[in-house]
Amino acid sequence: MIHPLSLSGKVALVTGATGGIGAAIARALGQAGALVHVNGRDPDRTRAVAESLAGEGIVAHSAAFDVTDRAAAAATVRRIAAKHGQLDILVNNVGQRLRQPIDDTDADQFAEILKVNVVSAFALCMAATEPMRRRGSGRLIHVGSTVSRRSPLNSVAYVASKGALTAMSRSLACEFAGAGITSNVLAPGFVLTETNSHFREEPFAGNYTAKIPVRRMAEPAEIAGAAVFLASDAAGYVNGAELVVDGGFSIAV
C-alpha cells in the first residue's frame, strides 16, 4: 500500500528553489519521492542546488529561467512534460519584496512586484495546467504570506501581491477542479531564511518572538512539510485553501 503522503512517481517544478523556503520545499518533495526540477535565475547556482539534492539521493534537475520571462517559463514546462510525460506539481515560490515607506513607492515599483509575485505565477499555472489536464490531475501550490492577513508597515506592494496571489489561487481552485487539479496557498509567518537575516537581530527578534505563541520563528524545513501535504494524495479534497504556518502568530491577541 502506498502511503498517502508519498510523492513517488510525481514530477514537480519549484520556482525560486535555490535557497530559503523554495530550497527546503524542493528537498522535502524529493525526500517524499518526487522527481524535482529546481528553478532559479542563475544557471550555475541552480545547477549546484540540483546537484546537491542529487547527492542526498533525491532525483533533481536544474530548470534555470527568470519567472517573469513567460516564453522561457512556458518552454521549460513543455520540456519537462515532454521529457517525463507529466508535470504533477507546480510550486510558485518566487517572491520579491520591496521594503520602503508608501510615500517612496511609485506605481512602476508597485507594478513590478505584482509582475514578479502574481503575473508570473499566473502564467506558470496556465502553462503547467496543460499537461495536468491531459492526465486529469495536478497540484498548484502558491507560497503566500500571513501579511495578507496582518499587514506590516512599509510593504504595500508586497502585501498587495500576496493578497492577490491568495485570491487568484481561490479562483484557480474553482476553474480547474473539474480537471482534477487543486490550487492552494501555503502562508508562512516569520521564517529564518537567508534573506530574512534581520529576523535574528534585536530588538526585532525579541519583539516578534514574544508575539508568536510557540515563542520562536520557523526554520524553512517546517514550512516544507506543509507543502508535501498539499502536494500529496492526502490533500486530494483540499482545494482553494490557505494553509497558515506561523506558529499561531496571526491568531494571537
pLDDT tens digits, residue range 157-177?
A: 999 999 999 999 999 999 999
d(CA 217, CA 55): 29
Q: Return the closest-CA partner of residue 53 out of 21, 80, 17.
A: 17
Q: Tens digit of pLDDT for each residue in 112-147?
A: 999 999 999 999 999 999 999 999 999 999 999 999
Is 194 within the bounds of a domain? yes
Q: Tens digit of pLDDT for each residue in 68-103?
A: 999 999 999 999 999 999 999 999 999 998 999 999
What does R_g of the chain's alpha carbons equal in angstroms?
17
Catalytic annotation, residues: 158
- Tell the residue number behind the cell numbers 520545499, with chain if given: 25
pLDDT at 213 over 70: yes
Is 46 within the bounds of a domain? yes
Is 185 within the bounds of a domain? yes
What is the predicted pLDDT for the residue at 131?
98
pLDDT at 152 over 90: no
| Structural domain span for residue 150 | 11-251
Is 55 within the bounds of a domain? yes
Work out the mean pLDDT of the chain and round it to a whole number.
95
Is 125 within the bounds of a domain? yes
90-104, 150-164, 200-214 — which is least confidently predicted? 200-214
Q: For the chain, count helices (H), then strands (E).
A: 8, 7
Q: Indicate the pLDDT class of residue 150, thresholds 50, 70 and 90.
A: confident
Question: Contact 54/62 with Cβ under 8 angstroms?
Answer: no
* Structural element, H or E, at residue 74: helix 70-84
Domain of 140, CATH number, reads 3.40.50.720
Is 3 within the bounds of a domain? no
Is 6 within the bounds of a domain? no
pLDDT at 195 over 90: no
d(CA 230, CA 243): 9
pLDDT at 196 over 90: no
How many CB atoms within 10 Å of residue 102?
11
Domains identified in the chain, total number? 1
Q: Tens digit of pLDDT for each residue in 14-51?
A: 999 999 999 999 999 999 999 999 999 999 999 999 99
What is the predicted pLDDT for the residue at 1?
66
Question: Contact 160/98 with Cβ under 8 angstroms?
Answer: no
Is 197 within the bounds of a domain? yes
pLDDT at 223 over 80: yes
Question: Contact 48/29 with Cβ under 8 angstroms?
Answer: no
C-alpha cell at 221: 524545513
**CA angle, residues 97, 98, 101, in degrees to nearest 5:** 145
pTM for this model (two decimals) = 0.95
